[in-house]
Structure 1
Amino acid sequence: MTVRVTQNMMISNLLSNLQTNYRAMDKTQQQLATGKKINRPSDNPVTAVRSMYYQTTLNEIDQYKRNVSDGSNWLQATDEGLDQVTQVIQRVRELTVQASNSNDQNSKNAIVAEISQLKDQLGQVANTELAGKYIFAGTDNKQPPYDATVTAPNNPFTNTNGQSINYQVGKGSSVPINITGVSIFNYNGGMFKLLDNVMSDIQSGNNPTNQLNNIDAQIDNVLTNRSELGARMNRMDLSSSRLDGLEQSATNILANEEDVDIPEAYTRFSEQQNVYRSALSVGARIIQPSLVDFLR
């Protein structure tokens, strides 16, 4: 049985085809305008899900990179602080030896005065701040760990917080960024107390070289902590390089998923325009009414 094709059926098919072509043109035009293959999830649900995954991955990598940057700054500030501590204690050692070899009271008084100044300098290092946080105060880093007005019983480094601050630099990977002040300034009886003992020995006429072993122990402890600090800084550098590589890979994959091929899209848009114009031309002939049409 032959199906009779009416004028209305032809017009309906024409309009449907025109609408399909127009939607295709609109989609291509949006791709050209945005430079993206997908402008809404419905364009390609599978690709949209993959794009969301890689975009989330890039966001995570960006956060890890910020952690690496902030953590590296903290480690660098800590290393600079420990370098100053090393210089202070080494200078105290030199002065201790000088005092033991001098019988001149004026010279000894001058040495005591310099050690007192070095103690003040040590206190300033202990209260080093970075971005409003005291780097030697553990996790209780909103309050200064050193209080020069405290005199009892060990030393004025009052902070006893020995907790590490860990920064996540990757999935399942974190790096402790701080060296606690407790492990430096309260080590082996206290660094500030040691300087007080040296000054007391010099002033009382005792041999200050009795303190040399304690001084050397403090120096060795600082160097040990700086060595650990260096290892962490190396980990940060390696993490930074690894994250750069992951970011580049994820960016390339995301671009391949999302970015439109501009030359190909222009060619496709031109073809779609030609098809649309041809359909309009043919349609204009189809819908021209005639006397025969009205008589049907």
Structure 2
Amino acid sequence: MRVSTNMLSFNFMSSLNKSLERQNDLQEKLSDGKAIHRPSDDPVRAVRSLRFNIDLRENEQYTQHVKDSISWMETSDSAMSTLSSMTIKVKELAVNAVAPNPDLSYDAIAEELDGIINQMVEVGNTKIGDRYIFAGQDDKTKPFERRMVDFGPPIGKKDAVVYSGDSNAISMRVQPGVVTPAQDSVNVKGSELFGPVVTTTAGEKAPVCEMFNHLIQLKDELLCKNTSIEKRPIAQSNLESGKATLSGSYTPASDNPQISIKVTSVAGGVVTGVEYSLDGGTPVAASPAGAPPIININGVSVTIGDSPNNKVGDTYGFKPSQGTEPDLEWISNGAIAWNDADHNRLLGLQTELGARMSMYNQAESLLEGRYVTINDYLSANEDLNIPQAMVDFKTNESVYRTALSIGAKLMPPSLADFLN
């Protein structure tokens, strides 16, 4: 076969270009240490790399969610610890008030209690960034506001703390699958923190917090402001049973006995029979009438709300009027019992929050371990074997230089060589 000068030159240049392509490919890989730059380099490894990168981005997002959740719960836990300390202080003040020789006057105790209520409102409005942590999902709205609320006649306007948040849970996705807000929630709702939120049935119909109502009622009792019968505090043995409300006026007005009511029969959560006594005297049987059932005691109308927790043996106690001194018996038996119940509820919520925090801490550890594992897989799939690539690069460079040297000798001379 005749080999022409052109054929010899073409074959030489083709081989030289292939050597340059290999050298360029190795140089590109060595520049960033990656073995794959485009799918055509290795389709199978390219697909694996895409999957690993997607898993890595998901894992990073889940990790960020976990960190945000833990930060949210740590802030909530700190706020709840502060509230727990405040409830303990409230009990100390109440116990001091009923002591035979209190250290402070009733007015001074009430003033300190008023300050604690304001501090609790501030704690309830704790924020992370621009989000209120106890407002439910409506976390852009300030949840708690202390103001005068119109309860309608006959109570009229009364000091109260109004809740403006909602009762929805906030949950953050920390793993693939369906999110269960009831189980994975990171927030404590204001309605849980400060007791049930009760919407007033008259006046402006404002949602008010029961725990704040207890504290304000105790303060008013110390200041002798619970004068009207509708505002009189009622001590009840079963805090889960139906709430009792009062109306009317006791006859004769000059008397102010301690009235005790004991439930004797219940049907379907409705109180159907009671007995009452005045200052511990002989019990008198009475049958509530009407809807809701009302008990009439010397001009005082007592209504016990329907509740599935109503039980035979539940007791209610109150005095028709306050007079000029606080009702120390009610403070001992009612206000302190309310405070203990509120404190126990806070501790229960804090325990539940601690359990969820532990779960999220474990999730964080798992995600950090998974991050290392995915990175190892990705590195094994994408990273270049640097020592081997350096050897290949030097070998290819030597081959290229040798090819240039041999090519210069093998290429036949041309007319241009003789013209020089």
2:52 and 2:92 mapped to 1: Cα distance? Answer: 59
Structure 2 counterpart SS, 1:70 = helix
The residue number in structure 1 matching 2:351 is 227
- 1:206 paired with 2:327, answer yes
- Computing the radius of gyration over CA atoms, which structure comes out larger, 1 or 2? 2
- Structure 1 residues 249, 106: closer, same or farther in 2, change over 3 A? closer
Q: How far apart, CA to CA, are the structure 2 residues paired with 1:54 and 1:79?
A: 37
Q: Decide whether aligned partners of structure 1 residues 160 and 131 sit closer, same or farther in structure 2, where only a CA change above 3 A counts.
A: closer
Identify if the C-alpha distance between structure 1 residues 106 and 170 changes in structure 2 by more than 3 Å, giving closer, same or farther: closer
* CA shift digits 1:181-237 (9 cap, x unpaired): 111124386111110111122233112122222211111111111011001110111
In the other structure, the counterpart of 1:176 is 185
Residue in 1 that maps onto 2:35: 37
Does structure 2 conserve the Cα–Cα contact (< 8 Å) formed by 1:11 and 1:286?
no
Which region of structure 1 is more displaced relative to structure 2, 152-161 or 258-267?
A: 152-161
Structure 1 stretch 198-207 or stretch 5-14: which is displaced more? 5-14
Checking the alignment, whether the CA contact within 8 Å between 2:218 and 2:335 is kept in structure 1 is yes
Check the 8 A contact 1:157/1:185 in 2, yes or no: no
Corresponding residue number in structure 1 for 2:404 = 280
Q: 1:31-84 CA deviation, whole Å, 9 max, x = no partner?
A: 111111122332222212211211121111111111111111110000011111
CA contact (8 A) 2:214 2:338 kept: yes
Q: Which shows bigger deviation, 117-126 or 32-41?
A: 32-41
Of the three residues 204, 212, 216, the one matched with 1:196 is 216
Q: Any idea what the Cα deviations from partners look like across 1:126-178, whole Å, max 9, x if unmatched?
A: 11011111000001011111112243559413224011111111222753110
* Alignment-mate amino acid for residue 74 of structure 1: W
Partner of 1:55: 53
**1: distance between equivalents of 2:389 and 2:5?**
36
- Correspondence 1:110 to 2:108: yes
Contact 2:80 2:350 in 1 (8 A): yes
2:187 is paired with a residue of what secondary structure? coil
Matched, 1:96 2:217: no
Give, in whole Å, the separation in 1 of the partners of 2:104 and 2:348.
37
| 2:196 matched residue in structure 1 | 187
Aligned partners of 2:397, 2:104: CA distance in 1, in Å? Answer: 99
Matched to 1:202, the amino acid is: L
Cα contact 2:170–2:185 (8 A) shared by 1: yes
The residue that corresponds to 1:20 in the other structure is 18
- Equivalent pair of 2:147/2:160 in contact (CA under 8 Å): no
* Alpha-carbon distance in structure 2 between the residues aligned to 1:225 and 1:44: 55
1:266 equivalent to 2:264? Answer no
Which of 351, 364, 379 lines up with 1:255 in the alignment?
A: 379
One-letter amino acid matched to 1:265: A
Query: Do the aligned residues in 1 keep the contact of 2:147 with 2:162 (CA within 8 Å)?
Result: no
Aligned partners of 1:127, 1:102: CA distance in 2, in Å? 37
CA contact (8 A) 2:221 2:327 kept: yes
Structure 1: gaps of 5 or more residues: 292-296
Change (3 A) 1:152 1:45: farther
Offset, 1:244: 0.8
Q: Secondary structure of 1:167's partner? A: coil
Give the 3 Å change call, closer, same or farther, for CA 228–105 of structure 1 in structure 2.
Answer: closer
Cα distance in 1 for partners of 2:364, 2:110 equals: 47
Q: Does the C-alpha gap of structure 1 residues 89 and 152 become closer, same or farther in structure 2, counting only changes over 3 Å?
A: farther
1:294 matched residue in structure 2:
none
In structure 2, the residue corresponding to 1:144 is in which secondary structure? coil
Give the structure 1 partner of residue 172 of structure 2: 167
Deviation at 1:280, TM superposition (A): 2.0
The CA deviation at 1:87 is 1.0
Q: CA deviation at 1:285?
A: 2.8
Q: Which residues in structure 2 correspond to 1:129-168 (within 5 Å)?
A: 129-153=127-151, 155-168=160-173
- Stretches of structure 2 that go unaligned for 5 or more consecutive residues are 152-158, 198-208, 225-325, 416-420
Q: Distance in 2 between matches of 1:104 and 1:218?
A: 24
Give the residue type in structure 1 aligned to 2:353. L
Q: Which has the higher helix share?
A: 1
Secondary structure of 1:289's aligned partner: coil
Q: What is the CA–CA distance in structure 2 between the aligned matches of 1:289 and 1:164, rounded to whole Å?
A: 87
Which structure has greater strand proportion? 2
Distance 1:105 1:254, change over 3 A: closer
| 1:243 is aligned to 2:243 | no
User: Identity of aligned pairs, percent?
Assistant: 31
Is the Cα–Cα contact under 8 Å of residues 124 and 190 in structure 2 kept in the other structure? yes
**Amino acid corresponding to residue 25 of structure 1 in structure 2:** Q
- Whole-Å separation in 2 of the counterparts to 1:43 and 1:144: 57
Matched residue pairs, number? Answer: 289
Q: Report SS of the residue matched to 1:148.
A: strand
Report the more deviating stretch, 178-187 or 280-289.
280-289
